[in-house]
Each structure stands twice: as C-alpha cells, then as structure tokens.
C-alpha cells in the first residue's frame, strides 16, 4: 500500500468470508448473513505512539459495543484482542499498520459471531459462540456494527487526548487471565508463569517460576493450553 485515496474512517463491510486472516496465520471463515465482518481504515494519529495501541482500543470498543446492546451479554477480553462470552470466543480483531503509506495508516479488521447457530461450532464447540447463542435471540448485524463503531470513535478520542497508558489501564480491567497462571508459545518453546501486567507498549509481562519477568508481544506469541513445558532459559 503506497498512497491511499480513502479517507480516515473508511469502513468496508463483507457479508461473508472464506479466507479471512487472523493472528499467527490463522484463518477465519464465516457463512453469509450470519457474522459481522468489517474493516476500518484510520490514519495513524501520532508517530510517537505505538501502533499496537490500536489492538487494545479496538478490543475495548468491541467490548463496550457488545455490552451496550439491549440484550443480556457479559463480554470479557482475552489478551491481546479476542472478545469472549462464557469463556468462548465471539470476536477476533486484527490490526495491521501501513507505515509506508502516505499518510501512514492502520487497518483494523473485526469479525464478530452474531447469528451463527450451535451447529456452526460443532467441530470446536468449546472455542466459539455467537451473540445469538449467548442472548437467546437473533440480532441485527447493522445494530451491532453501529454500537461497535460508536464505541470505537469514543476510544479513539480518549486515545488521542490521554494516550496509551489510560487505554491499557482500562483494558486491564476487563482482561481475563491477568494475575493468573498462563502459558504462551513463540512457536518453538512454551513459557509458563503469572500474567502480572501489560507493559507500556502493550507487551505481556510474565513472571516465571524463578521470579524473572519476561516480556512478550502479541505478534510473537500466543496463549496456549496443554501440558507445561517451561523452558526456563
């Protein structure tokens, strides 16, 4: 992407996708008319603020947007950018920067499971859920979109006025796993410890069994399940 002619705030909404991209090269598929799939183009607000901030403010926007729907839902955030309901994933977010563009930009892709039925998750039922399943009723996707976009606009305003520290502090209030044992992998090794904090640039701070603090960025590692394989060094 070089120069782009689309204004900041441009939104592209897809009805379905067959080869969506997630973190760590994962795919995201969604059938027609059931999921909310959209991307938002934003000019980077400041060269001095880390682009990783957009991952956290987007997660907060989806958290608040879902929470403000007039249905009984209790979302939570999983590091760094998954939204959970009943400990099952209802939304994934991927923020991609275009630093060489003119002007520099970030594209925030958001995929929300809105009206999928339980049969859609039959192959991995424990991992996914839709808003309709959690609320016990179907929802209008445009209503969900508007709620998230209003919350995103609010979070962008707060980001520009207060900076990343306030965004991270608020994000931590809704993060499951913070202060608890977790296990992460960088594709070669697994590291276990206590997820103690999020650093000033959005890195996970993990205290291992020896009391050492390790830092991990979302682009480099992912939280995993399974038997512990603490590398220690």
Dist. CA 146–CA 152, nearest whole Å? 10
Same-domain status, 59 and 16: yes
Instruction: Count structural domains, the chain.
Output: 2
Contact (CB, 8 A) for 34 and 115: yes
Is residue 117's pLDDT more than 80? yes
Reference 69, options 152, 131, 112, 117; nearest CA is 131
The confidence score (pLDDT) of residue 225 equals 58
Contact (CB, 8 A) for 111 and 29: no
Q: 126: domain range?
A: 11-175
The pair phi, psi for residue 176, each rounded to 5°, is -80, 145
Q: What tokens does 215 get? A: 């830092």
When pLDDT is averaged across residues 152-175 and rounded to a whole number, the result is: 91
What's the CATH number where 215 sits?
2.30.30.100
Task: Tell me the CB-side half-sphere exposure of residue 223, using CA atoms within 13 A.
Answer: 18
What's the CATH number where 56 sits?
3.30.930.10
List, in order, residues 6 or more apart from 102 with CB less than 8 Å away. Answer: 2, 3, 4
The pair phi, psi for residue 78, each rounded to 5°, is -110, 135
Decide which of 135, 160, 175 is a domain's last residue: 175
The confidence score (pLDDT) of residue 89 equals 94
233, part of any domain? no
What are 166-188's pLDDT values in tens digits?
Answer: 999 999 999 999 999 999 988 88
0.75 surpassed by pTM: yes
Q: Which of 2-16, 107-121, 130-144, 208-222 has the lowest mean pLDDT?
A: 2-16
Dist. CA 206–CA 209, nearest whole Å? 10
């Amino acid at each position: 992407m070089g120069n782009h002619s689309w204004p900041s705030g441009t939104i592209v909404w897809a009805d379905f996708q067959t080869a969506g991209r997630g973190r760590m090269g994962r795919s995201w598929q969604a059938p027609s008319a059931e999921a909310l799939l959209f991307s938002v183009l934003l000019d980077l607000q400041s060269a001095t603020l880390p682009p990783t901030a957009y991952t956290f403010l987007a997660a907060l926007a989806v958290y608040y947007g879902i929470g403000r729907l007039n249905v009984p839902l209790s979302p939570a955030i999983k590091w760094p950018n998954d939204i959970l309901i009943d400990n099952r994933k209802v939304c994934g977010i991927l923020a991609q920067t275009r630093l060489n563009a003119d002007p520099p930009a970030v594209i925030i892709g958001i995929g929300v499971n809105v009206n999928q039925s339980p049969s859609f998750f039959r192959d991995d039922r424990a991992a996914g859920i839709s808003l309709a399943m959690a609320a016990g009723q179907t929802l209008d996707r445009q209503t969900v979109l508007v709620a998230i976009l209003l919350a995103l606009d609010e979070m962008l305003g707060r980001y520009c006025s207060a900076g990343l520290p306030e965004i991270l502090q608020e994000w931590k209030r809704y993060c499951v796993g913070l202060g608890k044992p977790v296990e992460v992998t960088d594709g070669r090794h697994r590291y276990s410890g206590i997820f103690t904090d999020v650093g000033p640039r959005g890195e996970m701070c993990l205290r291992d069994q020896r009391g050492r603090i390790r830092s991990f960025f979302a682009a480099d590692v992912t939280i995993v399940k399974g038997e512990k394989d603490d590398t220690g060094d």
